[in-house]
Chain A
Amino acid sequence: NAGVTQTPKFQVLKTGQSMTLQCAQDMNHNSMYWYRQDPGMGLRLIYYSASEGTTDKGEVPNGYNVSRLNKREFSLRLESAAPSQTSVYFCASSDFKPNGKKTQYFGPGTRLLVL
C-alpha cells in the first residue's frame, strides 16, 4: 500500500516548456487534489476532482490543466511554464473513514523550478 505517489520528485524547466506531473493513489479514494505551496505560505488549491470523470477549478487554476484518467490517477499539466509557477506541488486524495470522519493523504511533493 504505497498511498499517494507523485512523479517526478524534482524538475527544472525553461520558460515556455511543457510538462505533466503524475499522481496516483491506491486507497480507492474518490476525491483527488492538486495544490501548490510557495515559500512561507500555506497550500493553495489548483484543481480538484470530486470523483472519477469530474474536475473543477480551485483557487489558482490559471496556467494549468488536469486529467482524472481513472479513479487512481490525476495528472497536472503545465502547457507553457512560467517562472511564477516555480513552486512545490502536492497531490492529495481524500475520503471518509468507516467512522464517518474525513481523512486526507498527501504525496511527497514535486519541486519545480522554471527558469
Chain B
Amino acid sequence: AQKITQTQPGMFVQEKEAVTLDCTYDTSDPSYGLFWYKQPSSGEMIFLIYQGSYDQQNATEGRYSLNFQKARKSANLVISASQLGDSAMYFCAMRGSNTGNQFYFGTGTSLTVIP
C-alpha cells in the first residue's frame, strides 16, 4: 500500500531564512513520482515541484528544491529565502507505477513565515 507521512503539522520560519518540510513515503512500486503542493488560505492548490524515483539529481524549481533520499524514503521540500507569501499549507504526494495515475497525499504541514 502507498502511504505518505508528514509529521510536522505546523512550522514557523523567519522571513529570508530557509525551511525544510519533511515527507516520508512507503511504497513497494519499483518506480514512482513525488510531488509537493502549496495551498494558501484562499484555497487554491498550486503544484510546486516533482521528483521521479529514478532521477539522478534532486529537483529544483526556483526557490524550491527537493531533498530526495531514496534509501530513507524521504522527499523533503526545502524553501530558500522564505517570503511572507510562502505562508500556506504544504502537501506531499506520491504516484506509483503500479497504481496508474492515482495520487496519494499526506495530511499537510502549515507553514507560517514571520516578518
Apart from A41-B108, A48-B101: 19 A-B pairs, beta carbons within 8 A = A33-B101, A35-B103, A41-B107, A42-B106, A42-B107, A43-B45, A43-B93, A43-B105, A45-B102, A45-B103, A45-B104, A48-B100, A90-B45, A101-B50, A102-B33, A102-B35, A104-B47, A106-B46, A109-B45
**Contact residue among A44, A104, A108 (Cβ-Cβ distance under 8 Å from B44):** A108
Q: Which of B45, B50, B93, B105 is the most central at the interface, judged by chain A CB atoms within 10 Å of its CB?
A: B45
- Cβ contact within 8 Å between B47 and A106: yes
Interface digits, A17-58 against B, CB 8 Å rule (1 contact, 0 not)? 000000000000001010100001111110010100000101
**Chain B, residue nearest A30 (CB):** B101
Q: What are 17 contact pairs spanning A and B, CB under 8 A? A: A35-B103, A41-B107, A42-B4, A42-B108, A43-B93, A43-B103, A48-B102, A50-B100, A56-B101, A59-B102, A94-B101, A101-B52, A102-B52, A103-B50, A104-B35, A106-B46, A109-B44
Number of interface residues of A (CB under 8 A): 26
**Contact residue among A42, A103, A105 (Cβ-Cβ distance under 8 Å from B105):** A42
Q: In the docked arrangement, what's the CA distance between A35 and B103, Å? A: 10
Q: Which of A33, A43, A103 is the most central at the interface, judged by chain B CB atoms within 10 Å of its CB?
A: A43
Decide yes or no whether A113 CB sits under 8 A from chain B. Answer: no
**Chain B, residue nearest A111 (CB):** B43
Decide yes or no whether A81 CB sits under 8 A from chain B. Answer: no
Q: A40-B107, A42-B91, A42-B107 are known contacts. Are A31 and B101 too (CB-CB below 8 A)?
A: yes
- Cβ contact within 8 Å between B93 and A42: yes
- Cβ contact within 8 Å between B43 and A108: yes
Which A residues are CB-close (under 8 A) to B91? 42-43
Interface digits, A77-90 against B, CB 8 Å rule (1 contact, 0 not)? 00000000000101
